């Protein structure tokens, strides 16, 4: 089975600030689960995992008046971590209003926070600014204002992020172009962590229908370098339920300053989902799981669609996290914003390791090349039949469960009856062909296990080694 390795890459004497992963596209990584939402009323979330093993979290607060910082040894631990205010807006003048989208990075042995801010007397004069802290611990020491990032034009600009690639540190950001009036994406090399050099390249302009709902917006870039490519995600449209994520891609060997090196995905890679009650997902960042083996998508959204008034005045964007999966061709598969609560698993066949449990027209089966990721994601929840059992709830159809219906496995909506609860419950067992994996014994028909046969799922007794292999699955 192909595996990938994660590599911390130094650049310009610094820890890389884009997550850089090497190796071929991996079908498998160990399971990780988290509980959403992670942190209430924290938008534009940025999580940085430092070499000290801690996760550092910052985000926009709804008052738009300060920059906060949290730290925890685990991603879930950020939810209950104490929060420090490390900087407050100025009482007048520049940096006096709309304190937005802070990102924390560690470069050349120092901490930096990039953020956007307006003037106290002109709140929409948004520009990008930088703080520096030379202490090893960003919670102590002094945060020094390094000043404004000067770009090619003195116009609305925000959402600065930085990454290092092939020996060059870059800044990527969103800025209004006076000629076209849109918030577009720009890239430039940096001469130091608060100064760009050369002429910026404009990488993307919002022209597609899903980029121009409410407002014409490309903003909030974030970079992930993986599988021989540089993936640059961004957010588009107004900050209501229309908000969504797009993606640009360039080969790692390309000249990133040449706009022709980049291709734009013509459809959003992550968007609102009414079935899971998640609306306006975006302004993402990337981090890695505690074991370093899984990519984690960090983003904000709301749990409701309808907003009264300006969405920027609605305080309830919240931070969420979920595992990022990868297609066989080495491209990221974002899936859908999963329901609130515990995040789901995928179940990979033991003896057909490129195939996963999924549902097609509500019939359970195993299939390969799962581009429709959510059809192969299930939450393993406390069994409907009670303690000591588990049920497998669909991610794409919350409230629907895999169940034993006349020895065939179907995805059905719970009707609340005892019969349904028993047929949709299983006893989790050690994998019948591999004790490190899992198998599921039917509660309604003890002695029968969930297994595949000709790629369809059944509840059947196990008598041969092949039967046992067919009934064994690895969690991802």
Catalytic residue annotation:
44, 219
Whose structure tokens read 């990584």? Answer: 29
DSSP code of residue 118: E
DSSP, collapsed to helix, strand or coil, labels residue 159 as strand
- 75-82, Cβ contacts within 8 angstroms, sequence gap of 24 or more: 75/34, 75/38, 75/47, 75/287, 75/289, 75/290, 75/296, 75/321, 76/34, 76/35, 76/38, 78/38, 78/39, 78/47, 79/35, 79/38, 79/39, 81/57
Report CA-CA distances (Å) from 290 to 38, 111, 242. Answer: 16, 22, 32
Q: Are 364 and 58 in contact (CB under 8 A)?
A: no
Name the CA radius of gyration of the chain, rounded: 24
Distance CA 122, CA 322 (A): 37
Provide the terminal-to-terminal Cα distance of the chain, rounded to the nearest Å.
14
Q: Are 230 and 252 in contact (CB under 8 A)?
A: yes
């Amino acid at each position: 089975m192909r595996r990938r390795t994660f590599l911390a890459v130094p650049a310009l004497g610094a820890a890389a600030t884009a997550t850089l992963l090497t190796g071929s596209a991996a079908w498998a990584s160990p399971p990780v689960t988290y509980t959403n939402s992670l942190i209430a009323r924290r938008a534009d979330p940025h999580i940085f995992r430092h070499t000290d093993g801690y996760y550092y979290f910052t985000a926009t607060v709804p008052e738009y008046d300060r920059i906060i910082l949290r730290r925890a040894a685990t991603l879930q631990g950020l939810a209950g971590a104490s929060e420090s205010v490390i900087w407050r807006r100025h009482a007048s003048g520049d940096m006096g209003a709309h304190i937005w989208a802070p990102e924390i990075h560690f470069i050349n042995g120092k901490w930096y926070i990039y953020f956007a801010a307006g003037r106290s007397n002109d709140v929409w004069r948004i520009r990008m600014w930088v703080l520096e802290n030379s202490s090893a611990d960003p919670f102590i020491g002094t945060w020094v204002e390094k000043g404004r990032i000067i770009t090619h034009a003195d116009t609305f600009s925000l959402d600065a992020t930085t990454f290092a690639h092939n020996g060059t540190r870059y800044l990527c950001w969103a800025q209004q172009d006076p000629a076209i009036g849109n918030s577009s994406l720009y890239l430039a090399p940096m001469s130091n962590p608060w100064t760009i050099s050369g002429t910026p390249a404009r990488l993307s302009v919002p022209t597609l229908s899903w980029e121009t709902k409410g407002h014409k917006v490309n903003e909030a870039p974030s970079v992930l370098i993986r599988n021989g490519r540089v993936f640059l995600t961004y957010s588009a449209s107004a900050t209501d339920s229309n908000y969504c994520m797009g993606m640009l891609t360039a080969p790692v060997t390309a000249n990133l300053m040449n706009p022709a090196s980049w291709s734009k995905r013509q459809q959003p890679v992550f968007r609102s989902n009414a079935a899971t009650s998640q609306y306006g997902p975006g302004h993402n960042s990337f981090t890695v799981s505690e074991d370093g083996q899984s990519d984690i998508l960090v983003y904000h959204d709301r749990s409701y669609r309808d907003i009264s008034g300006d969405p920027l005045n609605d305080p309830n964007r919240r931070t969420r996290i979920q595992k990022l999966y990868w297609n066989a061709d080495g491209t990221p598969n974002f899936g859908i914003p999963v329901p609130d609560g515990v995040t789901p698993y995928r179940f990979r066949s033991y003896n057909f390791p490129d195939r996963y449990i999924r549902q097609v027209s509500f019939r359970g089966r195993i299939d390969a090349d799962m581009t429709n990721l959510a059809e192969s994601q299930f939450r393993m929840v406390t069994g409907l039949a009670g303690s000591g059992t588990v049920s497998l709830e669909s991610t794409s159809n919350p409230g629907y469960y895999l169940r034993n219906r006349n020895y065939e496995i179907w995805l059905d909506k719970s009707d609340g009856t005892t019969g349904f609860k028993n047929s949709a419950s299983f006893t989790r067992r050690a994998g019948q062909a591999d004790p490190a994996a899992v198998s599921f014994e039917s509660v309604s028909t003890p002695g029968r296990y969930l297994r595949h046969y000709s790629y369809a799922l059944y509840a059947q007794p196990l008598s041969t080694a092949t039967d046992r292999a067919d009934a064994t699955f690895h969690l991802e």
